[in-house]
Amino acid sequence: MIAATPERDHQPDWPDGAAVRRARDALAGAAPLVTAPDIDRLRSRLAQPAFVLQAGDCAETFRDNTPASVADRVALLRAMAGEIAGGSGRPVVTVGRIAGQYAKPRSAPTESRSGITLPSYLGDAVNGEHFSAARRIPDPRNLVHAHEHSRKTLSYLAGSGVFTSHEALLLDYERPQTRPATAEGRFYDHSAHLLWIGERTRSLTGPHIDFAAGIANPIAVKIGPTATPTVLTGLHAVLNPDNVPGRLAFIFRMGHRRAYDLLYAMLSRITAEGWTDRVICDPMHGNTVVSPAGVKTRVVTTVEAETRAFFGACNDTGVTPGGIHLEVSGEDVSECVATDIDDAYLATDYRSACDPRLNPGQASRLARLVGELLSPHRESTPLREMAMSGT
């Protein structure tokens, strides 16, 4: 069985159509997870010149959806926001990859271990991480479980000041939660405050951009190294034709080696056109490497190098740096390495259900660096050479 493919726009191959309809009906009938006024509140915060900290798990899991785990994640987000705000003097808006980050696009539709090939894990909203044929079959009831878990997480988050976001990947999850708000007739996706469209599903002719264009939530789009400034022009025209501040963000994930040059070209287009779209740096997804033992990891120095390249390119093009997007864990995991890839270290506490996350120490240090790079008091000319050399 093939569970999800690019040809199918990364939508699961649900085995039971009637069960999908039941799940969609349940989602359509459920009370909203987040309200239209709260979505509008984030939109107006994003229309201001605050800096966005967007961080959390690559893939949340139902198993880790406990008050203690959410409290750890919130504590880390607050500490990171404190580092950035303290270092830069700029207000920070905190948006978690939380309360709904349960679906993953995968590079390969199947995974093989010891001669056995099964559908890839696509996130708890679709199938199970456990490597068994039964658990890897997409089960539409998981869409409803994801919604119930998101509601629980939101109850743990109450009063924390954290907005929620996830990748709007599963259209069978997002569409039933999309409803018109009575007064203005605008449609809101009530599954999260902010939705982003991933690097693999941002085609202008695909269903995800079409979906995003129809909702009033703030939208972000991941932009990888194969994109050109023309891609930005197309996305801006479809997603933010009126150039409204707070509506659209581009999250760049270029890879540290080419980041400065690619960003320079992208950001130059934004300045030349006078777009209000926010620019956010994801210094992680272009810097994933595989260890000799076959473990996915990221080297913190490369994450830092892409972060510096982003701030350098912003400075050199006159674009305001709008945010940082990171995968982090509230627990002291061993998923990213400091400088050298070390399988013994990676084996000590690797827990991620998908991509490697920064642990709290690594994440706080990166936040401190962001605070420094964002500070108006720093040297105002991190020239091309500096950004490129990663110093």
Residues that bind ligand PEP (CB under 6 A): 58, 105, 198-200, 222, 253, 285, 355
User: Taking the alpha carbons of 215, 220, 225, 228 in that order, is the dihedral positive or negative?
Assistant: positive
54 contacts 257 by C-beta, under 8 angstroms: no
**Interface stretch with Co ion, choices 5-13, 77-85, 286-294, 351-359 (CB under 5 A):** 351-359
For residue 93, give the 3-state DSSP assignment.
strand
Could you list the beta-strand ranges (E) of the chain. Answer: 51-56, 92-97, 110-113, 116-119, 163-167, 178-180, 187-189, 194-197, 219-223, 248-252, 278-281, 289-290, 296-297, 321-327
Closer Cβ to ligand PEP, 199 or 304, answer by number: 199
Please give the distance of CA 71 from its chain centroid, rounded to a whole number. Answer: 20
- Tell me the closest approach of the beta carbon of residue 202 to ligand PEP, in angstroms: 8
For residue 249, give the 3-state DSSP assignment.
strand
Closer Cβ to Co ion, 40 or 355, answer by number: 355
Tell me the site size for Co ion, rule CB under 5 A: 2
Which residue in this structure is represented by tokens 């994933």? Answer: 288
Residue choice 239, 355, 359, 360 for contact with Co ion (CB under 5 A): 355
User: Taking the alpha carbons of 153, 154, 159, 160 in that order, is the dihedral positive or negative?
Assistant: positive
- Tell me the closest approach of the beta carbon of residue 128 to ligand PEP, in angstroms: 19
Determine phi and psi for 216, rounding to 5 degrees. -90, -10
DSSP 232: H
CA-based nearest residue to 64, from 98, 18, 104: 98
Name which of ligand PEP, Co ion, none residue 330 binds, using a CB cut-off of 5 to 8 Å depending on partner kind: none
Closer Cβ to ligand PEP, 76 or 169, answer by number: 169
- Tell me the closest approach of the beta carbon of residue 31 to ligand PEP, in angstroms: 28
- Tell me the closest approach of the beta carbon of residue 222 to ligand PEP, in angstroms: 4
- Tell me the closest approach of the beta carbon of residue 150 to ligand PEP, in angstroms: 17
Confirm or reject binding of residue 58 to Co ion (CB under 5 A): yes
Confirm or reject binding of residue 126 to Co ion (CB under 5 A): no
Closer Cβ to Co ion, 58 or 326, answer by number: 58
Closer Cβ to ligand PEP, 40 or 306, answer by number: 306
- Tell me the closest approach of the beta carbon of residue 101 to Co ion, in angstroms: 9
Residues that bind Co ion (CB under 5 A): 58, 355
